[in-house]
Amino acid sequence: MEFDPNELIGRLPPFDPQQPARPEDYPRYCERYGFEFGDLSDTSQLGMLEIDAEQIAVHLWRHPSPVGTLLIVHGYLDHHGLYRHLIRYGLERQVNLLCFDLPGHGLSTGKRAAIDSFDSYQRVLEALLDRIDDWQLTRPLHLLGQSTGAAIINHYLLRHGTESNRLIDGRIAELAPLVRAANWAWVNLLHSLLAPWKGSVTRGFAANSNDDKFVEFLRRDPLQSPVITADWIGALKRWLPEFQSLDTIERSLLIVQGEKDATVDWRFNLNLLAQKFPNQQALLLADARHQLANESEPLRQKYLDWLDQQGFLQPA
């Protein structure tokens, strides 16, 4: 039987790590997205958590003998189901894995691929961070964000300053972090001209990875939005000046960026992030594109090895 996202969403229980429950559609979902981790995880749970008037899909894999926890924040138009390589990477390094779908993405509720304000993303992240100890998840807590996920993390860090160290006591890694989209002047102009008349534009599935099988998988993914919304671009435009105005923080980041990324304005972004986070370290990959979480295996292994060398996911 084929995986039906609507059936799974309708059957998802409230998320409660102390009382794992799996709807009957769960195995089909895991098979569809390659969530087959064997002995690396002894329990897993997928459920809904109400945050900011939306139902947020939260997925937890517990390692049998964890030395920490990794929280992954996905990018715009993605969902956590696409991040099996990163989930396996974390489990192989003996950490629990906590993932969720942003509002309007994947299994979560909300207008598809849209948001009124990036503050809504902040509230979801903050709600999860506040529950880590209640859920008895092993510390330190590490974070990994892809693109918009990295922007959400960085906004949280700059807003909260050194206070963020209390809840995020591990390392932070970012893949192709978003600050400004590629061709930003053109995107800005197009949004200003079209937004009053057109709520969305049809999305083109560009080859944003060197893994051709993944690119084809993405085109057939039932959880993909067929459009990019004017609401989301407008929220990004309003978010950018606030982000640029926030003070510098002495917090280390591990940043991986592909030089063939045509989705974000990566030169501008890396320059700004170097100012905001002077302790950041960056790895540039000449042949990598935007979807680093699903790059070809050689490129993916190159940056995962680098993260290991920098001590990412090592116990405190």
Delimit the domains of the chain by residue range. 5-309
Distances (CA, A) of 314 to 67, 193, 307, 311: 8, 49, 10, 5
d(CA 194, CA 172): 37
Quick one: which of 310, 305, 16 has its CA closest to 170? 310
Question: What pLDDT score was predicted for residue 1?
Answer: 65
Does the structural domain 5-309 have CATH classification 1.10.3720.10? no
DSSP of 108-156, one letter per residue?
A: S-SSTT--S-HHHHHHHHHHHHHHTTTTTPPSSEEEEEETHHHHHHHHH
Question: What pLDDT score was predicted for residue 62?
Answer: 97
Which are the contacts of 269, defined by CB distance < 8 A and separation ≥ 6?
177, 178, 179, 180, 257
pLDDT in single tens digits along all 316 residues of the chain: 678 899 999 999 999 998 877 888 999 999 999 999 999 999 999 999 999 999 999 999 999 999 999 999 999 999 999 999 999 999 999 999 999 999 999 999 999 999 999 999 999 999 999 999 999 999 999 999 999 999 999 999 999 999 999 999 999 999 999 999 999 999 999 888 878 878 898 998 889 999 999 999 999 999 999 999 999 999 999 999 999 999 999 999 999 999 999 999 999 999 999 999 999 999 999 999 999 999 999 999 999 999 999 999 998 6
